[in-house]
A and B are shown apart, each in its own frame.
Chain A
Amino acid sequence: EAGVAQSPRYKIIEKRQSVAFWCNPISGHATLYWYQQILGQGPKLLIQFQNNGVVDDSQLPKDRFSAERLKGVDSTLKIQPAKLEDSAVYLCASSYTGSTEAFFGQGTRLTVV
Chain B
Amino acid sequence: EDQVTQSPEALRLQEGESSSLNCSYTVSGLRGLFWYRQDPGKGPEFLFTLYSAGEEKEKERLKATLTKKESFLHITAPKPEDSATYLCAVPVDSGYALNFGKGTSLLVTP
User: Interface of A with B (CB < 8 Å)?
Assistant: 4, 31, 33, 40-45, 48, 55-56, 91, 93, 95, 98-107, 109
Contact = CB atoms under 8 A, between A and B. Distances in A.
Nearest to B32: A100
Given A42-B101, A45-B97, A100 B43 contact: no
Given A93-B43, A100-B32, A101-B46, A42 B100 contact: yes
Interface of B: 4, 31-32, 34, 36, 41-46, 49, 87, 89, 91-92, 95-103
A106 B96 contact: no
Contact of B34 (A33, A41, A91, A100): A100
A24 B27 CA distance: 32
Contact of A33 (B42, B97, B99): B97
